[in-house]
Amino acid sequence: MHFNIRPRSYSHIIFTVAATLACAYSPLALTRAEAQSSTGNTYYVGTNGNDLNSGSETSPFATIKHADSVVSPGDTVILLDGTYKGDVTLSKSGISGNPITYKAQHQWKAQLVGTGTGDGSRVIGVTGSYIIIQDFDVTGSDANGIILASAGRSASFNQAISNYVHDMVTPCDSNSGTAISTGGGSDYSGISHNDIIGNLVVNITPFNGCPGGHAASGIYGQTPNAVIANNIVINAGTDIQTWHAATNMTIFGNTTIGGVVGVTLGAGDSPGGITNDNSIVQNNISINASGVGLQEHGTTGTHNRFVDNLVFNNHTNVQLINGDVATGTVTADPKFVNNTGTAAGDYQLQSNSPAIGAGLALAGITTDYDGISRPQTGTTDIGAALSAGASTPSTGPSTPSTGPVAAGISASAKSITRGQSSVLTWNTINAVKATLNGTAVALRGSITVKPTATTTYKIVGTGSTGATDWGSVTVTVH
């Protein structure tokens, strides 16, 4: 499977955000470290490891849980290529200047697959502070992908960097679900400065269309003082959402495609009493939303700024409240290199894109999605990825093609009455192509079906050597 979305490297970038825009508003001053140098030990986890091992590269642990039990501030845990069971909790904490880093040895080649269901389930949950989660492929049946403050814990200064979170079907309840969240809990107290940087989020959808009206979300900023930057979000319900205790947020240089809403800024519901104010939505691209491209709603203040964004082909491009006015907005086709509206697209900008040079730099956001340097003063391109001339595209996420091929499929409902739907979810391991009842499909994904008669659905995965494996599920129609 070939993706044109490119892996990135964010090594040793100090993330200092200070708003120095020409327009007048209260300055934002935030300090981050995207991926700091480790001063501690490095441990390895492998699919053929053992938790009684030393944790070296040649003698790795078997589980992330065990690695979490031995790490200290400044340590790094590296997952070797392969597929791992998700539903993990990272409970230890780093300290300022010495975070604990969990990362894939090769970007997107260590896949975490969640098997949980229902409200609160997550592939990766963090209850410690100063934790970095980087370069993983995250998918599964859980309601959420990565939660940077899980189970109501006061976990802060955590970061999700350069992960690929995709093909998740969230529950249809009042909480729905999300690919990556800054975290939350019953009162949201003590949670702050959790950042979501340079991730690729694709196909986060609510179960069965969610007739109750609750949409999934791609990136969810629920807590204050978060930076959400350089992400590409495709078909994820509300692609980028802020709510609950969100305030003083920086939403910069993201690209959203499809979904219901591109970017929405607001606060409301629990814990109550929060006004989202002094937030900045800048240099984002939002296109093809069935609802609103850029939106402000709920309880918001009068100091929020929507600056130099590009909107196109949304049902409503911009919808703000409190008398706020978006400035510098470009309404035009961004002219991506290859806009497929899927993970297979290339979302760098063509040389004639109206987004080139149409935004203002934000000091401290030093790179784009691809790790290409952004200017710190003057103008810059709008969106997550700069113009195509700035770099040479490389291959993106792919499933390892060595080892035995495996394929499996499940149905959200195996017994339905005529007219009802069921969601099929499948995954393959070490395959280079897949078919569903003879039709080519993605190596992993989901689809809603509405059979009129009892139907068996068969997924077949084929490896690079021609070896195959298959799985099937039958949906009975009454």
Query: What would the mean pLDDT of 4-12 be, rounded to a whole number?
Result: 45
> What is the Cα–Cα distance from 94 to 26, expressed in whole angstroms?
31
Is the pLDDT at 2 greater than 60? The verdict is no
pLDDT score at 3? 38
Please give the mean pLDDT across all residues of the chain.
84
- C-alpha–C-alpha distance, residues 312 and 293, integer Å: 8
Mind listing the pLDDT tens digit for each residue in 434-458? 899 988 877 767 788 899 999 999 9
Beta bridge partners, 14, equal 33
Residue 135: predicted pLDDT = 96
Reported confidence tier of residue 177, pLDDT bands at 50, 70, 90: confident
Domains and CATH numbers, the chain: 14-390 (2.160.20.10), 406-477 (2.60.40.2470)
Burial of 85-99, coded b for 16+ CB within 10 Å and e otherwise, reads: ebbbbbbbbbeeebb
pLDDT tens, position by position, 23-72:
333 323 333 334 444 569 999 999 999 999 999 999 999 999 999 999 99
Question: Per-residue pLDDT tens for 249-308?
Answer: 999 999 999 999 999 999 998 888 899 999 999 999 999 999 999 999 999 999 999 999
**Predicted pLDDT at 171:** 67
Q: What is the mean pLDDT of residues 409-425?
A: 83
Share of the chain above pLDDT 70, in %: 83
Q: What is the mean pLDDT of residues 343-372?
A: 90
pLDDT-based confidence at 174, cuts 50/70/90? low
Q: Which distant-in-sequence residues (6+ apart) come within 8 Å of 158 by Cβ?
A: 126, 128, 129, 130, 131, 132, 133, 148, 149, 183, 194, 195
pLDDT band at 198 (very low <50, low <70, confident <90, very high): very high
Q: Is the model more confident about 391 or about 67?
A: 67
pLDDT: is 177 or 175 the higher one?
A: 177
Do 163 and 8 contact (CB within 8 A), yes or no? Answer: no
Task: State the pLDDT at residue 352.
Answer: 94
**How many alpha carbons fall within 13 Å on the CB side of residue 90?**
35
Cβ-count burial 254-280 (b if 16+ within 10 Å, e if not): bbbbbbbbbbbbbbbeeeeebbbbbbb
pLDDT number for residue 411: 76
Determine the length of the chain.
478
Q: Which two tokens stand for residue 150?
A: 């899980």
User: For 327-339, what is the mean pLDDT?
Assistant: 95
Q: What is the pLDDT of residue 424?
A: 81
DSSP state of 64: H
Q: What average pLDDT does this structure show over 381-388?
A: 90
Q: What is the pTM of this model?
A: 0.78
Question: Does the structure show a pLDDT above 70 at 395?
Answer: no
